[in-house]
């Protein structure tokens, strides 16, 4: 028997979900709540297997609710419910420890499947969410964009810049004159299309040159 709590501010949807779930073999809704004000106590008292958590709630939203839960309980599975597959929310929810993320328009049979999947350690996601997650994933990785073809020496200098060295210090470290450091840096700026040290440093981080 899968025991659930539901957090959802919309009364119709709350009733609908409850009826659907309670009417299905092997599922039971322990309680419903329309906000997350006492989420910690409620979860502690009812000890559910799975929580359905609406994201868009007034007051404490679903993400905050999730975070509260995770402060005290890492075992209960939390399935986020939302109308939109909004990029930022997906990201937030996932990194706050959600076990799954499904759209409200998911058909009932699918939803029950997802709940079961969450309970058994899976990570149910609707297709559109999964697509987004993959996109975020691949975009954040992007193993270095442009090349800028910096020479070896220029790369070294840039490295020192990133580490906060002044021209003078770089000259010392590299056993060259400070004016040579200047020359290198000027060249680096040209290749990176920037015109200050901090821009170069920022670009180095952004484009994973270091």
**Residue of 161, 170, 171, 185 that binds a second copy (CB under 8 A):** 161
Judged by CB, which is closer to a second copy: 43, or 133?
A: 133
Binding mask 69-108 for a second copy (x = CB under 8 A): ----------------------x--xxxxxx---------
Token digits of residue 70: 């995770």
The correct pick among 97, 146, 195, 208 for binding DNA (CB under 7 A) is 195
Looking at 11-19, 40-48, 62-70, 162-170, which segment touches DNA (CB under 7 A)? 162-170
* Residue of 8, 42, 117, 154 that binds a second copy (CB under 8 A): 117
Nearer of residues 125 and 204 to DNA, judged by Cβ: 204
Interface segment toward DNA; rule CB under 7 A; list 75-83, 85-93, 111-119, 148-156: 148-156
Q: Which of 20, 136, 162, 174 binds DNA (CB under 7 A)?
A: 174
In the complex, the residues that contact DNA under the rule CB under 7 A are: 151-154, 166-168, 174, 176-177, 179-180, 182-186, 189, 195-198
């Amino acid at each position: 028997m899968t025991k659930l709590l539901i957090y959802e501010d919309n009364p119709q949807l709350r009733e609908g979900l409850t009826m659907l779930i309670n009417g299905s073999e092997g599922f039971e809704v322990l309680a419903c709540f329309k906000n997350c004000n006492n989420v910690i106590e409620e979860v502690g008292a009812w000890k559910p297997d799975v929580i359905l958590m609406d994201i868009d709630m007034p007051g404490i939203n679903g993400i905050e609710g999730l975070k509260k839960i995770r402060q005290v309980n890492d075992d209960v599975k939390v399935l986020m419910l939302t109308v939109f597959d909004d990029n930022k929310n997906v990201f937030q929810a996932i990194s706050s420890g959600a076990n799954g993320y499904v759209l409200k328009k998911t058909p009932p049979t699918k939803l029950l499947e997802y709940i079961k999947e969450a309970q058994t350690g899976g990570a149910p996601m609707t297709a559109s969410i999964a697509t987004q997650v993959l996109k975020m994933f691949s975009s954040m990785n992007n193993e270095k964009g442009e090349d800028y073809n910096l020479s070896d020496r220029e790369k070294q200098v840039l490295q020192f810049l990133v580490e906060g060295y002044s021209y003078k210090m770089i000259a010392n470290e590299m056993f060259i004159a400070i004016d040579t450091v200047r020359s290198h840096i000027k060249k680096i700026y040209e290749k990176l299309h920037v015109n200050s040290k901090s821009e170069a440093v920022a670009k180095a981080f952004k484009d994973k040159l270091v």
